[in-house]
Amino acid sequence: MRYLLLFLIIVPAAEIAFLLLSGKTIGVLPTMFLLIFTGVLGAYLAKRQGLETIRKAQEQLRNGQIPGDALLDGICILIGGTLLLTPGFITDVVGFLLLAPLTRKFFKRLLIKAFKRWIDKGTITIIR
């Protein structure tokens, strides 16, 4: 919980500093345009990849498979899309990394490790 609190303080402060620097360097209007452009592009990419992931999960379910990989993709796409809609360049970079299939693999490994840690600690209970 303390890491979340630190995250909620540090990230917005860094975003504000970076936005001020960007506004001073390239100007206010280009900065605003970039923020709006990344938000629209992020929403488009998240929707497209989200629908593709849903189709992949449905296909795996039809074939009698558990869609574990598709669920992890969905979590990454949801977080990435949310970060892209959040104004700021730092969150946009992380959001695009979560949406890109090549870099998403890294984040999926992190998610798997986190889930395993939570299960081992007893934070998450798996009901069969």
Side chain identity at residue 91, one-letter code: T
Among 61, 95, 67, which residue's Cα sits nearest to residue 81? 95
Q: Does some domain include residue 79?
A: yes
Residue range(s) defining the domain that contains residue 20 = 10-120
Contact in structure between 74 and 50 (CB atoms under 8 Å): yes
Number of domains in the chain: 1
* pLDDT at residue 34 tops 80: yes
- Measured in whole angstroms, the distance separating CA 56 from the mean position of its chain's CA atoms is 19
The residue written with tokens 């540090």 in the block is 10
**pLDDT, position 29:** 94
pLDDT at 65: 83
pLDDT digits (tens, 9 = 90+) for 74-128: 999 999 999 988 888 999 999 999 999 899 899 999 988 988 888 788 776 667 6
In a 13 Å sphere around the CA of 30, the CA atoms on its Cβ side amount to: 7
The sign of the torsion formed by the CA atoms of 26, 31, 33, 39 equals positive
Is position 126 within any domain?
A: no
For residue 52, being part of any structural domain is answered with yes
pLDDT bin (cut points 50, 70, 90) of residue 47 is very high
